[in-house]
Amino acid sequence: MKRRDFFTHLGMGSALMASSGAWMPNSGQESLSLQSWEELRKQFPLQDSRVYFNTGGIGAAPYPVIQAVQDVLLRYQTLGEPGHDVFAATHAPLAGFLGCSPEDLALNRNATEGNSTIAFGLRLKPGDEVILDNEAHPGGAIPWMALQKEYGIKVKVFSPSSISISENIKAVKALWTPKTKVVQVSHVTSPSGIRMPVQEIGEWVRQKGMWFHVDGAQSAGMFPFSLRDLQCDSFAASAHKWMLAPHGIGFLWIDPTRRDRVIPTDIGAYSNGDYELPLTLSYHPTAQRYEAGTQDETKAAGLVAAITFLNQLDMHQVAEHGFGLARFLNQELRSFLPIEVLSPKNPLLASSITTFRHRAGNTGLLLAHLSEHGFRVRSVTEANLNAIRVSTHIYNNMDECIRLLQAVKAYRKT
């Protein structure tokens, strides 16, 4: 079946299914048929002999994305042109996918770069305090820790609850002092897949006059949301995870009414508005001020192709598929006595990530066992969790989840 015929068979339009920031599972959409999901899987160059459960690290790009990268690389190497037109044409489709204005998006390499732009661009002073969740990815935590090391700010952390939304809100509020200037939370925590109540936290943070930054590396492409609804001042994400784009492209969104508070930190050609040596310089009026120099047009083309691919699906069904597989793993693993499931059981906090560990401390051996049996999962060392993370996306299926459970059971018997 040709790709175009496949999507016609699914009966899916190309319009994005917009949603609020708080997507709910079991939202009434019917799941795609097993045949349709299997047809969708054929759009990815994944090996049947190796089960890929690491979308939370690096997503698998579908063939149309790979083709777009190759085509643009050949085209612009043939023409000898920099490909600025490809790069400039990326903002509009990305904005449509995220529910924001193209002028408010800056393209970069990854969430780490966006997080760093916010951390260093806010010009915090010695003694200023920043609140983070202790499951922040190193790419979200290290920029703030570098400011603590070099400039004397103070980083404070809380442990996110996998049980209660209200406890997560209380945990943030408990760390507040008059010196608190920034709160950063993970939209979905990388180690254990906790979906944080960003809207509720954001409303309180902004009422206090602080800056609210969201690390969205694990949410963009996992489930539908609109940036306008998240109540945050800035949002950074990588597109090479759940959005299925090539490695090395991401984005930063900043509320346009607050943009001038963040000075560009990686700045050069194309970041400027008015410019004339030696004294005249203004920043570009849009978020383009955070984009500097010639960038890789092939990654931009791949991102547009990935967005086109996802837009041909219903993002609610994409989310329900990933969440549904994770929900199944979560429930089944809880019945294995040696296994402790760290990911939320509460559907309001759950995501497409399932994290678990061996109660006897044999998680490393279990990880090696799963790797030997062809499962690509991720070791979780953040927050001293010593666990295994499984990410389920559109190319995963129930059979793979059952095979994983069988492999875990087989380890228990050894």
Determine if residue 277 is left, alpha or beta; phi over 0 gives left, psi from -120 to 50 gives alpha, anything else beta.
beta
What is the rounded CA–CA span in Å between residue 183 and residue 217?
A: 17
> Is pLDDT larger for residue 11 or for residue 78?
78
User: Is residue 7 over pLDDT 90?
Assistant: no
Q: Is the pLDDT of residue 24 over 90?
A: no
Q: Which of 16-30, 87-101, 264-278, 386-400 has the lowest mean pLDDT?
A: 16-30
CA dihedral 124, 130, 136, 139 (to 10 degrees): 10
Tell me if 390 sits within 8 A of 351, measured CB to CB.
no
Q: Where are the domains of the chain?
A: 72-308, 316-413
Fold of the 316-413 domain: Aspartate Aminotransferase, domain 1 (3.90.1150)
Distance CA(408)–CA(396), nearest Å, equals: 18
148 contacts 155 by C-beta, under 8 angstroms: yes
Calculate the CA 237 to chain-centre distance. Answer: 5
At 362 the pLDDT is: 86
* pLDDT tens-place string over residues 208-247: 999 999 999 999 999 999 999 999 999 999 999 999 999 9
The DSSP secondary-structure symbol of 352 reads S
Task: Output 22 or 303, whichever has higher pLDDT.
Answer: 303
In angstroms, what CA-CA distances link 155 with 182, 221, 234? 10, 29, 19
Beta-ladder partners of 312: none
In the CATH scheme, what architecture does the domain 72-308 have? 3-Layer(aba) Sandwich (3.40)
- The alpha helices in 102-241, defined as continuous H runs, are 111-121, 138-151, 165-174, 198-207
Percent of the chain with pLDDT over 70: 91
From 81, 25, 128, select the one nearest 352 (Cα to Cα).
Answer: 25
- Mean per-residue pLDDT for 317-326? 96
Tokens (6 digits) for 367:
């990880």
pLDDT for 19 equals 30
pLDDT-wise least confident of 19-23, 84-88, 224-228, 368-372: 19-23
Mean pLDDT of the chain, nearest integer = 91
